[in-house]
Amino acid sequence: MGGHFVQGHVDTIATILSVTPDGNALTFRFRPRDPSVLRYIVEKGYVTLDGASLTVTQVQDGLDGWMEVMLIAYTQERVVTAAKKPGEDVNVEVDMVGKYVEKSVAGYFEGKTGGDFAILEKMVSRIVDEKLMSLGK
């Protein structure tokens, strides 16, 4: 089993910031109205735009964050987003698995299931160390 679990709900709306041609493909950059959804969107993960599950090529978190998808020629012929222009909006649904993971982890560390903050500290420390090492390259 592979792919993207979606339910047909709209989590937020995103505005198309740009459409950049790349050979016969188009790269769309979107800014969600609710930037908090970006925490569920990861590079090479999935996002649903106007009902079509697409692969994310880049994501930038934060208040001015954005996400990008690239539509190859085949996909452009099959999704409504391909005909849209900068300034237009799309409906966004994020992968529900990320929401379930977040809820489970939050419950664990809030003590609902006997969480241990030492584990969280180790995880954060490892992530920070990896980030610092990648910046040093």
**Confidence (pTM):** 0.76
One-letter amino acid of 95: D
Q: Where in the chain is the domain with CATH 2.40.30.20?
A: 1-94
CATH number of 1-94: 2.40.30.20
- Mean pLDDT per segment of 10 residues, for the chain of length 137 residues? 72 98 97 95 93 94 94 96 98 86 76 61 78 70
CA distance 4 to 42: 12
Predicted local confidence at residue 98, as pLDDT: 77
Judge contact between 68 and 29, C-beta under 8 A.
yes
Q: What residues contact residue 101 under an 8 Å CB cut-off, 6+ apart?
A: none
**Helix (H, G, I), strand (E, B), or coil: what is residue 121?**
helix
Residue 19 CA to residue 88 CA, distance in Å, equals: 11
